[in-house]
Amino acid sequence: MFCVNCQTDVEPETVTGADIYGPRFAFKDALYARCPRCGNYGEFAAKDEPPYKVIPDFRLRRGYNYIDGVLDLLWRQKKMTKAEVLYRMAGLMYGHERAYRTRDIESYDEACRAYRLAKELKKEAFSHVQTVA
Ligand SMILES: [Zn+2]
């Protein structure tokens, strides 16, 4: 995996939520990939998904949370399905040359761009509100 903090490919250690946050953590059995050089960590992709390639640092991890905060709202409020959200983001970010996944983002600049585009998508989705005449 590519460690954003070390800026190099590393062979990650597999650790649990308890290893990182302690035994009282709600997702203590969840698996994380941890960089053996600097200790930064990233989530594992779901079993039916291709693995993530990036270990984010603290700043990028916070960026992921900002982006997902906006994108999750879109499908939770049924403005779009989750698949539609990811499809639109793939178009906006990469011109559909690759799939979009927040946790594939490798740099803070790219995360800022994704956040900006996510907010535009949200604006578009929420502007289609029915108004009573
Ligand atoms: Zn590292």
Instruction: Quick: pLDDT tens for 53-105.
Output: 999 999 999 999 999 999 999 999 999 999 999 999 999 999 999 999 999 99
Task: Report residue 30 as tokens.
Answer: 């969840």
The reported pTM is: 0.86
Residue 38 has phi, psi (to 5 degrees) of -120, -10
State the pLDDT at residue 47: 84
Going through 17-76 in order, the beta strands assigned E by DSSP cover 31-34, 41-43, 54-55
Query: Does residue 41 contact residue 64 with C-beta atoms inside 8 Å?
Result: no
pLDDT at residue 128 above 80? no
- pLDDT on residue 133: 59
Cα(7) to ligand 1 centroid in Å equals 7
- Which has the closest alpha carbon to 116: 75, 59, 53, 71? 71
What Rg value do the Cα atoms of the chain yield, rounded? 17
Q: How far is the CA of 10 from the centre of ligand 1 (A)?
A: 7
